[in-house]
Structure formats: C-alpha cells, structure tokens
Amino acid sequence: MKYCKICLQTDTRPGISFRKDGICSACDYRSKEFQEIDWLERQKQLKAIVDWAKETSKGGYDCVIGVSGGKDSTFQAFYAKEQLGLNVLLVNVAPDNLTDVGRQNLENLVQKGFDLVSFRPNPVVMKKLTRQSFLKYGNPVKPSEYPLFAVPYQTAMMYKAPLIIWGENVAITLGVTKLGISGDALNVLGHNTLEGIESKDYWLHDDLVLTDLLPYKFPEVHALRKNHKAIYLNYYAREWGWKNNTDFSVSKGLKGREDRPELTGRINPYNSVDGDIQIVNQMIKYYKLGFGFVTDEVCYYIREGVMSRNEAIDLVEKHDGKCGELFIEEFCKYIDITVDEFWSHMDKHVNKKLFYKNAFGKWIPKFKVGDDFEERED
Ligand SMILES: [Zn+2]
C-alpha cells in the first residue's frame, strides 16, 4: 500500500491513479487548479448553462438539487438560488432511520426559503437490499445510493426542470480518474458507485420484482440528454471546498453530530448527519482498503491548506475506521442478524494483507499510517 506524498490518499482506493513521483491524481489536479484553470472561463460556461436553463424552463423550476440537508447540499442550494438566480426545486430521499439532527437540518434548509419534494423509498425493499448487499458484498450502503442519484433525475423529468445540479465530481476531489474531469454529470451515469444497475442478479432476490426497484432505476441517458443537462458544481465554482461548504452551511444554521470521533470515525461533525449506516460502512471500508473516512477528510484539509500532513497522520491513527458498538448493534438489528454474525461475515471481507487478528479476535493494522507498506498475507 502506497501513500500519496502530499496527502494521505492510498493506492488501495478503487480507480485512483498516481504520478510517477508518488503524487495522487487528486493532488495533481489541485496543484494545477490555481495555475492552469481559467476560472473566469468556467464561470462563463456556467452562466451559459444557467441562461439555457432559465430559457428552457419557461417559468417553471429551472433546476433540481438532491439534498440531505448536510454541508454540501446546503451550499449547493444557496449557491443555485442566490449566486445563479435559479428557481430551485429541492428533492430529499430520506434514509431509513433518519437521525433527529438530520431531520432538523433538512427542515432548517427548507425554512430558509425552498420548495422541497420528499421521497421515501419503500423500507421493506430497502431493508432487503441492504441486508443482501452486506451479506454478499460487504457493502451495506450501495443500494441506498441509487435512489439518491436516480430520484432527482426522475423528479427533474417529471417537473420538466431542465437542469440537475450535483456537488462533487469525485474525479476532481478523490482522484477517481476513470470518471473524467468534467462538469458534465451525465457522463457519470453507469460508472463507479452506479455500476451494477443493469445486473438483475444484484437486485432481484428475496422475493423482489422489477417494479419494487423503480426508485433505483436511472432514466435512460439518451432520453435525459434530449431536454436536460446535469452539472457538477465543483467544476465551475472555485468556492467549492470542504472547509468553505462547512463554514458557509454552519452560518446558515447547519447542526452537526454530537457523538465523538472515536465513535463516528470522522473528525468533521457535519458529515453524514442524517443516517448512521455510513459510519458502519466506513469502518468496513477501512478493513477492506486500509483507510476510512478520516483519511478522506484529512486529504481534503491538506489539499485546502488547512492541515499539515503530520497533523493529519495523528488524526488518522487515532480515529480512522472507528465505529461505536451501538451503531453496529443498530445496524445488525436493522438487517436482522446478530453482532456475532456481523463479525463472522466481516472476517470474509477484511483485507488479510493489511490486517491481522490478535489473540482477542480483533483485527489490527499491519501498516503505519503515512508509510508505504508492502502488503503481505501471513
Ligand atoms: Zn494526494
């Protein structure tokens, strides 16, 4: 496992690429950002898209934005309304077991002056898919990601809103280069987290039929392209950033989690505030790939110049991959397995080249954060 020489990105992230000098693609983009990108030109491109949307909507909604009420979607909603002057329709796809603070944040956002469509996928179907996805693939959040992407597209078509605005192109922020550095979000359909949508095997089991899966189904890209555009805001707006979005959204009333980093495995309390399964998922990711959510967080902070690599290493060592037992118990109850069954399934998914089991049956990292490590199974 190799670490980027600037941030703490590892080469175990699927789709990541590194330069020969050991710099990851996200840092490579960041270093170019201030020298080579013509932000005025990008603003011009954005203005042309915004003008097109206003003209096309003919007095209806100009754009749809999928929101959880967290730091990024709060920033997006205000940016679209106040900076771009768009008539915005927000769409929320509520998770099962929505947290109180998540509910408050969404309400806070709407109270600031937005129309909101709420969508709740059938929880019986969601639970079956989540259970299956964890047991088979060790990924409990994959099914819930589909409606987050599909429903805003479906809503835009339904309301004839020409533009869909997303936040981050992860090719830019995480360096998953196969997605391509572009502002066009329709490019992403069929890539990465969205892979598998065509595979009926993934979805159809446990009594589910195709009509159970409507919120999980993307509109055809060709049909979308006829009357719609979809963009990534971070491609066009220089202000977009981890720290900026947090500070901006807090100033608009965003509330964070109150649990401690050793329970949530994250240092910024304003992330994934609406549900707890992400916390379990990030711990699983840590055991599969050798990095969890704190690594992602500190990489943003390093690139934005608000944290040194050494400070970051310290935080990752302390908190990465952590997940309070309560969250695991909640999750097991939700998918109807015991905690013992959870850990015996985890044994299958832990990367044995990166972790070993100690005498107490706990998985321990073989690597030291920030130091390149030769993976070996022993
Ligand atoms: Zn890097």
Give pLDDT tens digits for 227-265: 999 999 999 999 998 889 999 999 999 999 888 888 888
Q: From ligand 1's centre to the CA of 4, what distance in Å?
A: 5
Q: From ligand 1's centre to the CA of 29, what distance in Å?
A: 9
Q: From ligand 1's centre to the CA of 356, what distance in Å?
A: 27
In angstroms and rounded to an integer, the radius of gyration of the C-alpha atoms of the chain is: 21
Q: From ligand 1's centre to the CA of 354, what distance in Å?
A: 20
Q: From ligand 1's centre to the CA of 132, what distance in Å?
A: 34
Q: From ligand 1's centre to the CA of 21, what distance in Å?
A: 11
Q: From ligand 1's centre to the CA of 285, what distance in Å?
A: 19
pLDDT tens digits for 33-61? 667 889 999 999 999 999 999 999 999 99
Instruction: Answer whether 61's CB lies under 8 Å from 163's CB.
Output: no
Q: Report the alpha-carbon distance of residue 300 to residue 319 in Å, rounded.
A: 16
Q: From ligand 1's centre to the CA of 18, what distance in Å?
A: 8
32: nearest Cα among 59, 3, 65, 6: 6
Instruction: Answer whether 121's CB lies under 8 Å from 217's CB.
Output: no
Rounded to two decimals, the pTM is: 0.89
Q: From ligand 1's centre to the CA of 266, what distance in Å?
A: 19
- For residue 355, give the 3-state DSSP assignment: strand
* CATH for the 35-236 domain, from 2.160.10, 3.40.50, 3.30.40, 3.30.110: 3.40.50
28: nearest Cα among 11, 1, 3, 4: 4
Each of the 378 residues of the chain gets a pLDDT tens digit; together they read 999 999 999 999 988 889 999 999 889 888 876 678 899 999 999 999 999 999 999 999 999 999 998 999 999 999 999 999 999 999 999 999 889 999 999 999 999 999 999 999 999 999 999 998 899 888 899 888 889 999 999 999 999 999 999 998 877 777 666 667 788 888 766 444 444 455 666 677 778 888 888 898 888 888 889 999 999 999 999 999 888 999 999 999 999 988 888 888 888 888 878 888 999 999 999 999 999 999 999 999 999 899 999 999 999 999 999 999 999 999 999 999 999 999 999 999 999 999 999 999 899 999 999 999 888 877
Q: From ligand 1's centre to the CA of 235, what distance in Å?
A: 18
Instruction: Answer whether 273's CB lies under 8 Å from 256's CB.
Output: yes
In the chain, DSSP assigns E strands to: 63-66, 88-93, 115-119, 163-166, 229-232, 355-357, 363-365
Q: From ligand 1's centre to the CA of 6, what distance in Å?
A: 5
For the sheet with 229-232, list strands across it: 115-119, 88-93, 63-66, 163-166, 229-232
DSSP code string of 190-223: TSGGGTTTT-HHHH--TT--GGGGGGGPPPPHHH
